[in-house]
Amino acid sequence: MTVYGTRPEAIKVAPVIRALETSPHLESVTVVTGQHREMLDQVNEIFGIIPDHDLEVFAHGQGLNVLMSKVFERLDPVLEQERPDALIVQGDTSTVAAASIAAFYRQIPVVHLEAGLRSGDIHSPFPEEANRKLTSQVSALHLAPTPTSKQNLLREAIDESTVVVTGNTVIDALLHTVDQGLPISDPRLAGPVKEGASILLVTSHRRENWGGAMEGVGRALRRLAEHFPDVLIVLPAHRNPIVREAVLPHVRGLSNVVVTEPLAYGEFTRVMAASTVVLTDSGGVQEEAPSLGKPVLVMRENTERPEAVDAGTVRLIGTDEQRIVDEVGRLLTDKDAYAQMANAVNPYGDGRAAARSIAALEHLLVDGARLPDFEG
C-alpha cells in the first residue's frame, strides 16, 4: 500500500506505483489523503494513477494537529480493510508522519521513500524535519536517495541492512514528464517559452519564511523586475493566503511579472526547462532544476539536500532582500558565474530509482534480489 497526500509526494511516488503495477510479485493499493487537492489530482492524471482510496482530509485553514488527526482517523479503517504487507510513504509531510505511525501501531512494516534527509535543525524546515525523523524511527526499510542520506541514517543508529541507496525518484518522474512535451495552456507563458525568453522562475511557500521574510522576497522581486525589464519573472503563486498577501502586493502592476495559479506538473516542468534561473524555497525543485541544467538559488538558511550545494549547482542565499537581488542579478549578468552553476553535475539520480525501490521491496517481502546501490 502506498499512501501520499501532496503534489511533491505524488510526483515522487508515481514512478514507484507504476513499477509496482508491473511487478509479478507485488500488488499495488494506492491511498491519497488529499492533503493537497487539485495539485495532487493533476499529478495522478499525468501518470495514469487512479487511487483505490481517498481520505479527503483537505480543508482550508486547518491546523497541523487537525490534519494529522484526520489522517489517523480515516486511514485506520483502510488499513483494517486492506491489511497490507507493507506501507510506502514518501518524504516528510504530515501525511507521511501520521500514516507511518498508524501503520506502525498495526505492526505493518513501513517503507520510507526518500529517507535520511536532514537539515540538522528541528525547526527548519518546519514541520518537515521532525516528520522525517519520526518516520525513520518506525520504518522497516529506508530508501535513501543519496549516499549522504544513508550516512545520516547510520549516524542515527539505523541498521545498515535496512538502508538502500536508490537515487531520487523525482528524476524518474521528471524525465518521464519532460519526454511527454505537455502543452502550456497559459499564453502569457507559452509565447515566451517558445521564443526562448530570459525567465526567472520563482516558487516560495515555506512556513518558516512566512511574515517579514516573505515580504522581503516580494520587495526583492519588484526590484529585480524593475532592474531587468527584459527578464520575465514567472511566479506560480501558492494558494495559501498568507503567502499571497506577503508577496503579491509588491509585484502587482509590473508588466514583466506573470503571476499564475500553481502550474500543473507537466506545465511546470516545461517552464522550468525553459528558465534561465530558478529562485525557490522548495525542496523538490532543488533536485529537479539541476537535472535540467538550471542554476538554483535557494531562499533558505539551510537545506536537507546538501549534495547539489556541494556540486555547485545550488546556492543557499537565505531571504535577505538585498542578497536575493544581488545573487539573481549576478547570474543574469555574469556569464562565467552562470556557466559554473549551470554545468555542475546533478547528484540526485539516473532515472532508475523506482527499479531499485521495487527490488528492495521485493527483497523485504518475497526474498527477491536487491539491485546495486546508486552511487551518486
d(CA 369, CA 361): 10
Query: Quick one: 265 and 316 in the same domain?
Result: yes
pLDDT (tens digit per residue) in 92-132: 999 999 999 999 999 999 999 999 999 999 998 899 999 99
Q: What's the whole-number mean pLDDT along residues 273-292?
A: 91
Q: What whole-number distance in Å separates Cα of residue 21 and Cα of residue 188?
A: 38
CATH for 259: 3.40.50.2000
Q: Which three cell numbers stand for residue 372?
A: 546495486
Mean pLDDT, rounded, of the chain: 93
Look at residue 323 and tell me if it is in a domain: yes
Same domain, 193 and 133: no
Same domain, 111 and 197: no
Catalytic residues: 92, 114, 128, 205, 207, 238
Pair 17, 123 in one domain: yes
- Does 153 share its domain with 302? no
Q: If pLDDT is split at 50, 70 and 90, which confidence band does 23 have?
A: very high
With contact defined as beta carbons under 8 Å apart, do 247 and 204 qualify? yes
How far is 180 from 183, CA to CA, in rounded Å? 9
Quick check: is 202 in a domain? Answer: yes
| Residue that the C-alpha cell 517552464 belongs to | 271
> How is residue 153 written as a grid cell?
541514517
In a domain, 313, yes or no: yes
Per-residue pLDDT tens digits for 140-196: 999 999 999 999 999 999 999 999 999 999 999 998 888 888 889 999 999 999 999
| Predicted pLDDT of residue 291 | 87
d(CA 54, CA 182): 27
Compute the residue count for the chain: 376
Strand partners, 297: 279, 315
> Is residue 256 one of the residues assigned to a domain?
yes
Which one, of 65, 15, 62, 10, lies nearest residue 33 by Cα?
10
- Together in a domain, 123 and 59: yes
pLDDT value for 61: 83
Handedness of CA 101, 102, 106, 108 (dihedral sign): negative
Q: Kindly compute the dihedral angle of the four CA atoms of residues 178, 230, 341, 375, in this order, to the nearest 10 degrees.
A: -10
User: Domain check: are 128 and 192 in the same one?
Assistant: no
Lowest mean pLDDT among 49-53, 77-81, 121-125: 121-125
Say whether both 62 and 195 belong to one domain: no
Whether residues 220 and 119 fall in one domain: no
Domain hosting 269: range is: 186-342
> Is residue 373 one of the residues assigned to a domain?
no
Whether 287 is in a domain gets the answer yes
Report residue 246: phi and psi, to 5°.
-80, -35
Residue with cell 528492495: 360
Residue 176 within a domain: no
Q: Is residue 371 a part of any domain in this protein?
A: no
Q: Is the domain of 274 the same as that of 337?
A: yes
Could you give the 3-state DSSP secondary structure of residue 96?
Answer: helix
Higher local confidence (pLDDT), 245 or 38: 245
Closest by CA position to 196, among listed 90, 270, 293, 102: 270
- Number of domains present in the structure of the chain: 2
Residues 217 and 78 in one domain: no
What are the φ/ψ torsions at residue 88 (nearest 5 degrees)?
-100, 130
DSSP character at residue 115: T
- Return the residue matching grid coordinates 536537507: 304
Q: Are residues 192 and 314 in the same domain?
A: yes
Q: Which amino acid makes up residue 141?
A: L
